[in-house]
Amino acid sequence: MTPETVLITGGAGFIGSHTADRLLAAGYRVRVLDSLIPQVHGDGRRRPAYLSTEVELQIGDVRDASTIDCALEDVSYIYHLAADTGVGQSMYAVGQYFSTNVVGTAQLWEGIQKRPGQIKRFILASSRAVYGEGRYSCSRCGDVVPGQRSEEQLLRADWSHHCPVCSGALEPRPSDEATPTGPVSVYGLTKKFQEDICRLMGSTLGVPVAILRYFNVYGPRQSVTNPYTGVIPMFCTRIRSGRPIQLYEQGVPLRDFVHVKDIVETNVAAISLNGQLEVVNVGSGRALSLREVADTVCSALGVSPNVQLTAKFRVGDILACYANLDRSSQLVGTEERIAFGEGLKTLLPWLASQEVDDRSDQVESELRFKGVLKEGATTSFGSDL
């Protein structure tokens, strides 16, 4: 029996390549379509050494109709991972992000439309960025889904959310899939458009769609050349160069870091999801402050904490968002997700094997020039050594 073919757009990246490994092991034939952009893969557009030799690699742009037609030949399942990522960069590269993420997704569906009945399932890699700030609760007023924090508030170095009714402090709560979407970055908005396109076209063409909302993914094969994504590689690079980790908003923001192995478990399970449409969070279900992340990275590297707390902030960043995993548990079970400290043990050897330049100053200068990076009332809160 001839194995079915799976197409992974953006599949030469670290999430896609790990997913390809699992699909190959499960007996599928895997084709990857990837443009191998220098920002992610470095110069030269070379096939990544970690990409299995069993994977058929097509180098091309998801926005090109003829490229899509070739990539979709004999394909039964699609994982759509191709996207520009990076909240900060998206706030000034607006046209680029909409072109790659939104137009690219639309072009892919035009290709699918030419092949009625061929595609058995379409799986979209979406993002927690569609939620914006996610769920919170007020001790007096109950559940609240706040909007974006104002620039005026952030310039006062007030990082908290306040209840719109009583002005009391809000506490973050895990966001489930029913949480109203409210992107506060261009990147998040493009992911929401992707979701909407896939819902509409999947329903129109009778193609079952699964939408997986990834939280902050980390793990081996993570790009070390992309300075706009991957806070952990950036932390490690600064520590190894003898420089302090700079934490925006005093290191207060909370994030949900999920290991790539847990992402892959959900990706593979999603190929057999029942129902026309499923939206599933893919996270760890744990909220870590950026200060906790920095301290854990320092500990894993065997160095004393070298952290500088600052009042800098980026337009489009959120305070907190972490995953409710009730629906995810129905898909992949209730087994504990990989703990952050354990996951770092798989990432650090990968980072140590890569040649990395510290480009954080260059990125910060660019974001400041574009009006994305700003500074609160107090310029620095010092270093904790």
Q: Position 185: which residue type?
A: S
What φ, ψ does residue 240 adopt, rounded to 5°?
-70, -25
Exposure of 218 by Cβ count < 10 A (0-12 exposed, 13-18 middle, 19+ buried)? buried
Cα distance between residue 279 and residue 274, in whole Å: 12
Which segments of 72-173 does DSSP mark as H helices, in order? 87-90, 94-97, 104-113, 151-155
**What is the largest distance, in Å, between two alpha-carbon atoms of the chain?**
67
Which of 117, 280, 332 shows the shortest CA–CA distance to 208?
117
CB under 8 Å to 38, separation ≥6 — which residues? 45, 225
Helix (H, G, I), strand (E, B) or coil at 262: helix
Which of 55, 70, 43 shows the shortest CA–CA distance to 8?
55
CB under 8 Å to 334, separation ≥6 — which residues? none
Q: Are 34 and 62 in contact (CB under 8 A)?
A: no
Q: Catalytic: 187? A: yes
Cα distance between residue 253 and residue 169, in whole Å: 15
Cα distance between residue 197 and residue 32, in whole Å: 22
What φ, ψ does residue 300 adopt, rounded to 5°?
-65, -30
CB under 8 Å to 65, separation ≥6 — which residues? 107, 110, 111
Which of 7, 160, 173, 165 shows the shortest CA–CA distance to 82?
7
Q: Tokens at residue 48, please?
A: 């990544």
Catalytic pick among 28, 77, 131, 187: 187
As annotated, the active-site residues are: 187
